[in-house]
Structure formats: structure tokens, C-alpha cells
Amino acid sequence: MQTLAVVLALLALAPFLWLLLMSFKTNAEIFRFPPRLLFDATLANYAALWTSEFRNSFANSLIVSVASTVLSLVIGVPAAYALSRWTGRGGGTITLWILASRMAPPIAFTIPYFLVYRHLELLDTLTGLIVIYLTFNLSLVIWMMRPFYDQLPRSLEEAAWIDGATLWQGFYRIILPLSGPGLAATAILCFLFAWNDFFFALILTRTEAMTAPVAVVNFMNYEGWEWGRIAAGGTMIMLPVLVFSFVVRRYLVHGLTGGALKG
Amino acid sequence: MISSPSAGFSRAQHRFFAFCVAPSLAVLALITLLPALYLLATSFTQLSLTRPETQWDFSQPLESYRQLLSDSRLHNSVWVQIKLSFWTVLLQLLIGLLLALLLNIRSRLLEALRTVFLIPMVLPPIVVAIIWKVIYTPDISPMHGIFRSLGWNVPALITDPNWALTSIIIADTWEWFPFTMLMVLAALQMMPQELLDAAKVDGASPWQLTRHITLPFIRGVLLVAGLFRLIDSIKAFPLIFILTDGGPGSLTEVTNYYSYLQAFNFSFLGFSSAITVALLAATIALSWLIVRLVGWGAKID
């Protein structure tokens, strides 16, 4: 049983490992079959990448992802908390709205944003990307954090109130620190969703604000089939993702389904 | 013992909550609701970027929708979409379920393997597309290398009319089977142990346990996982963009992709908006189904 599982895992990972190895190969090595297990690894692909425009795109990806994460948390966390305590009507409608805007096909936002950005001169700007990334990240924060606050007893803020704290102090000093792990996981997921975006950046950027995923695809289209560099670019895009995903693996399902599973 | 809070507390709390929610709702309205309305408005025009005068021309509001009914390329894309969605959701549920059952045994090794199996799902979609581009490009593909050394003459799958859609389905299944696996594993861990123990005492075989206790228990989770994947399959883009570009012909051109081509290759944004409104409606309907199934609405209202 365990052997079967290991074999299946290797099989499932083979395509991914192949790309990783390819990024360290020379062109001659890439076209060799059967591949040599021990080849002379080279960093030339990474070096070539790092001296090209790709570096700017990588920086753009970082800036946009971090900015969109911070903004979403600042706006969304208080709302998640309040909605978790919400007893009025309309809660179901808000939930559906948030879920639908998370699930909507990106093109539904891309068309209006593209048309409006042409007039606001926000095409090919980092600001433009940060704003459109809010469409999925703000919803993510709200529906990711709400279940965390559902678990915190209401008596906490009542006790703080009786001790003379304002509601804001109660939230800021007591509730917020208690939801620390949830906040960290949510921040990482926000970063990942922004970092992974391809479609919005493909349509809304040209050169200045181009992000790393779009830049890699441009190698494919405009610089012939530079397989080594494409593989190196792909590897650089996925490395932060792999590290962060490992950190938040416990929260992945939660983040993708908004706590559709309850313990 | 905390005394019950005063009326002043609950009034203050009400104000505080409104203050917390207002910015989010305002921003969400501005960045999602308004664009959705803009999309709807655009779908009532014949907007084409090559003819600026069409921007706010509502003289024939339903023309784009009439075109929806008569455009055979669109109908083809819907059919491609149905095939893609059906097979990817089915295969992902099946493979994810089997793997979850396999991995749901207490063991250090298997717990470590769970994390390994997650990798395809967390990779950036564009990297997944690059990985499969490599596998489907005969010159450099290890798969084609193996085929060649076996003496098989296999065509490039993504340009072969018989294989193009299948090759997308394979790549998409690889990317997302971990999602079902994760959800099922999470559900399995909530399964009441007493139930299993009682059945074991009664002499049930592992197969009977799975068939009569485990499967009924995780049926709901499978349904929700399937719905999430179904909605996501409507958005299929990077794989198709990188691997086949909708081709050969329009054999892998799903509706979302066709809408993209209409808007950003042919610049018929009016028509594309009408297609997208239909896609959006489908997404909202499926999301509503999830909200009902999971019971989020009931919990709050």
C-alpha cells in the first residue's frame, strides 16, 4: 500500500521535476534522450534571465502582490469580524455576492476594467493591477477570516467592554491577536492568488507593469523556443509559491472553499 | 461571572460593526458591482474598438444576444466546454477520491506524501501550462522520448485533432485532482470513529466499510468539491492559451476562450460582453447552489 502511494507520488511529480531539472540544463542537454541522470548543471539560464527585462517583471509581481495583500487585509479584516457577529438580515445575500465575485470568470471583470482603464490611463500600470486584484483578494479575506472569528466567543469583547475598553480597542488588542494564525494564512493566500494571476496581467499590462508570468510567456512567443530560459523563469515563479504553500498547507482547503467543510 | 451587557453596549456594538463593514461593502460595490453593471451595459451595445461611435450606442440593445443564438462557433465552444467540464470534473473526483482513501491510513510516510501530492494544485497555473507544453512538444518531451524508444510513432498530441482536447483534459486533471483529495481527506478525518469500530466488530470487510459507511459519509463533500471544480472549469484559460490556442481549428476553444478572442483579438467587446454575461449568470447560479448546500445563508439569516 505504501509502495503504491510512493510510486503514484513520483508519477504525479515527474512532470514538475522535469521542468525543474530542465532549468539547469544546456540546450544540448535538453534535447538529449534518454536523459543523463548526472549532467553538468549550469546556472547560465538563470544568469541570462536575471540580466534581462525579466528582473523588472519579477519586481512588478512582488510589488503588486504585496500591495494587494496589505490593502485587502486592511479593508477586509474588520468586515470579516463584523460579519461574523452580524445578526441582521441580508447576511446570505452578502455571502453569495462575495462567493460569486470570487468565482466569476476573470474576463467578466477584464472587459469593463479594460474599457475604463483606457480613459483613466491605468492600463499598463501597477496601480491598475493592484485595484483589479482586490476583486478576488478582498472577497478572499472576508470569507477566509469570518470562520476564524465565528470560533471566538462573543464574551471576549463583552468582557473587554466591561473592563472599560472601547469596542475598537477590544477588537485591536484582543480579537486581532487571537486570530493571528488565520491572518498569516490569509495574507499568504492573498499573496499567492495575486502572484499566480496570469489573465488580468496579460490583458491589462504591456511592458511597464508586466508581471513575471506574462514575461515568461513572452519568451515563448517572441524569442523562439529558449527552453532553458523558459524553464528557469517558470522555476523562479513557482519557488516562492512552493515555499509559502508548504507553510499554509493546513489552510489551503479552507482558503479555496471558505470553510465549506465544518469540523 | 460576566453580567449581561447593557443596552448601551449593544447599541455601540451595532454602530461599530456598521463602521467595520461599510468600507468593504463600498469598495466591493465599486470594484465588482459597478464593473458587472458596466459589462451588462456594454452587452447591450455593438461596441467594437475599431468603431468608437459604437461605445454607448444602445439603438439595438438585443443585437448581441440575438447573435448568441445564431453564432455557430459559439455553440461549438459551449459543446467543447461541456466535454471539458464533464471529463475534468469526473476524473478529478475519481482520482482525488481514490488517492484520499489510499492516503487515509495513519502513517508518517503517507502524511508526508499528502503534502507532495498538493504540489500540482499550488503551482502557478502558467507554470503548469509550461510543464505540459514541454511534455507535449515532441523534440524535448520525455514522454515522446519513451514512445520513440518503444518504436511507437505518436503525433504531437496538442496539434492532433483526435487528441487535442484529451491532452488539455489530462493536464487539467493533473493540476486539480489534489483539490478533491484534500477535501475528501479533511472529511474523512471528521468521520466518527465509533461508527467504523462498531462495523468492524460486526465483521464488515474493508470494502463493505468503504461502500456502506465511508462513501455515504463523504457524498456531500464530493458534491461540493465537484461544484467548485465545475465553476472553475468554466474559467479554463492558461492551459488552452499556452497549449493549443483553442486549436486545432476550434476543437479546444471553450466559451471563456472564445469570449476572450472576440474581445481582445477581434475587438468585438459588445458581443464578447454578451457571452460573458451568460457565463457570469451560470457562475452565480452555481455559487448560489453551493451557498444553499453548505448552508452559509441559513446560518446567518
Asked if residue B130 and residue B277 are part of one domain, the reply reads no
The parent domain of residue A93 ranges over 46-257
Rounded to whole angstroms, how far apart are CA atoms B42 and B38?
Answer: 6
* Residue in A152, A182, A183, A140 with CA at minimum distance from that of residue A84: A152
Cell numbers 476550434 correspond to what residue?
B250
Mean of pLDDT values over B67-91 = 95
Asked if residue A227 and residue A149 are part of one domain, the reply reads yes
Q: Is the pLDDT of residue A44 over 70?
A: yes
Please give the tally of structural domains in chain A.
2
Residue A64's CATH number: 1.10.3720.10
Kindly report, residue by residue over B164-188, the tens digit of the pLDDT: 999 999 999 999 999 999 888 888 8
Res A87: pLDDT: 66
Res A260: pLDDT: 60
CB pairs under 8 A between A and B: 285
pTM of this prediction?
Answer: 0.89
B58 is a domain residue = no
Rounded to whole angstroms, how far apart are CA atoms A250 and A185?
Answer: 9
Res B5: pLDDT: 58
B276 is a domain residue = yes
The parent domain of residue B184 ranges over 82-239
Rounded to whole angstroms, how far apart are CA atoms A136 and A190?
Answer: 9
Could B35 and A103 be called an inter-chain contact, meaning their C-beta atoms sit closer than 8 Å? no
Asked if residue A139 and residue A84 are part of one domain, the reply reads yes
Res B279: pLDDT: 93
What is the C-alpha R_g of chain A?
A: 22
The three-class DSSP label of residue B48 is strand
Mutation target to probe the A interface, by most A beta carbons within 10 A, among B135, B139, B223, B287 is B287
Asked if residue B230 and residue B205 are part of one domain, the reply reads yes
Please give the tally of structural domains in chain B.
2
Is residue A17 within 8 Å of residue A223, measured between CB atoms? no
A262 is a domain residue = no
Interface check for A188 against chain B (CB to CB < 8 A): the answer is no
B17 is a domain residue = no
Mutation target to probe the B interface, by most B beta carbons within 10 A, among A81, A107, A257 is A107
Separation in Å, CA of A151 to nearest CA in chain B: 14
ipTM: 0.89
Q: Three cell numbers at B99?
A: 488517492
Between B209 and B161, the more confident residue is B161
The model's confidence at residue A122, banded by pLDDT at 50, 70 and 90, is very high
* Residue in A68, A72, A59, A102 with CA at minimum distance from that of residue A240: A59
Cell numbers 496601480 correspond to what residue?
A127
A74-88, B22-36, B253-267: which has the minimum mean pLDDT? A74-88
Asked if residue B263 and residue B195 are part of one domain, the reply reads no
What are the chain A neighbours of B101 within 8 Å (beta carbons)? Answer: none
Domain final residue pick, B195, B214, B239 = B239
Mean of pLDDT values over A82-102 = 77
Asked if residue A214 and residue A189 are part of one domain, the reply reads yes
Q: Which of A90, A138, A196 sits opposite B27 (nearest CB)?
A: A138
Interface check for A241 against chain B (CB to CB < 8 A): the answer is yes
Residue B133's CATH number: 1.10.3720.10
Res B4: pLDDT: 55
Mean of pLDDT values over B140-158 = 86
Q: Three cell numbers at B69?
A: 443564438
A263 is a domain residue = no
Domain final residue pick, A42, A57, A75 = A42
Domain final residue pick, B188, B215, B239 = B239
Domain final residue pick, B197, B214, B239 = B239
A190 is a domain residue = yes
Kindly report, residue by residue over B15-29, the tens digit of the pLDDT: 888 899 899 999 999
Helices (H) and strands (E) in chain B, counts: 15, 0
The contacts of residue A66 (CB under 8 Å, 6+ apart) are A191
B295 is a domain residue = yes
Asked if residue B273 and residue B220 are part of one domain, the reply reads no
Asked if residue A142 and residue A26 are part of one domain, the reply reads no
Q: Please provide residue B51's backbone torsions phi and psi, each rounded to the nearest 5 degrees.
A: -125, 85
Rounded to whole angstroms, how far apart are CA atoms B177 and B90?
Answer: 10
Between B61 and A55, the more confident residue is A55
Asked if residue A224 and residue A144 are part of one domain, the reply reads yes
Asked if residue A109 and residue A65 are part of one domain, the reply reads yes
Res B301: pLDDT: 34
Could B124 and A213 be called an inter-chain contact, meaning their C-beta atoms sit closer than 8 Å? yes
A53 is a domain residue = yes
B285 is a domain residue = yes
Q: Which of B127, B179, B279 sits opposite A234 (nearest CB)?
A: B127
A45-54, A100-109, A149-158, B276-285: which has the minimum mean pLDDT? A149-158
Asked if residue A183 and residue A78 are part of one domain, the reply reads yes
Could B119 and A256 be called an inter-chain contact, meaning their C-beta atoms sit closer than 8 Å? no
Asked if residue B272 and residue B233 are part of one domain, the reply reads no
* pLDDT > 90 fraction of chain A, expressed in percent and rounded: 38
Res B15: pLDDT: 87
Q: Three cell numbers at A17?
A: 521535476
Could B131 and A2 be called an inter-chain contact, meaning their C-beta atoms sit closer than 8 Å? no
Separation in Å, CA of A213 to nearest CA in chain B: 6
Asked if residue A237 and residue A117 are part of one domain, the reply reads yes
* Residue in B231, B267, B29 with CA at minimum distance from that of residue A111: B267
* pLDDT > 70 fraction of chain A, expressed in percent and rounded: 93
B137 is a domain residue = yes
Asked if residue A62 and residue A26 are part of one domain, the reply reads no
Asked if residue B283 and residue B205 are part of one domain, the reply reads no
B48 is a domain residue = no
Res A37: pLDDT: 74
Asked if residue A58 and residue A138 are part of one domain, the reply reads yes
Could A237 and B9 be called an inter-chain contact, meaning their C-beta atoms sit closer than 8 Å? no
The three-class DSSP label of residue A69 is helix
What are the chain B neighbours of A131 within 8 Å (beta carbons)? Answer: 31
Between A39 and B122, the more confident residue is B122
Asked if residue A18 and residue A55 are part of one domain, the reply reads no
Mutation target to probe the A interface, by most A beta carbons within 10 A, among B136, B140, B176, B259 is B140
Distances (CA, A) of B64 to A21, A68, B51, B125, B273: 49, 35, 16, 32, 8
Asked if residue B294 and residue B224 are part of one domain, the reply reads no
Q: Is the pLDDT of residue B298 over 60?
A: no
Asked if residue B275 and residue B212 are part of one domain, the reply reads no
The three-class DSSP label of residue B266 is coil
Let me know how long chain B is.
301
Asked if residue A107 and residue A150 are part of one domain, the reply reads yes
- Secondary structure letter of residue B154 according to DSSP: P
The three-class DSSP label of residue A184 is helix
Asked if residue B260 and residue B133 are part of one domain, the reply reads no
B221 is a domain residue = yes
Could A78 and B133 be called an inter-chain contact, meaning their C-beta atoms sit closer than 8 Å? no
Separation in Å, CA of A69 to nearest CA in chain B: 14
> Hey, which residues 189-208 in chain A have their CB within 8 Å of chain B?
192, 195-196, 198-199, 202-203
Is residue A77 within 8 Å of residue A143, measured between CB atoms? no
Res B296: pLDDT: 61
Asked if residue B231 and residue B133 are part of one domain, the reply reads yes
Helices A2-22, A227-247: inter-axial angle, 10-degree rounding: 130
What are the chain A neighbours of B17 within 8 Å (beta carbons)? Answer: 82, 85-86
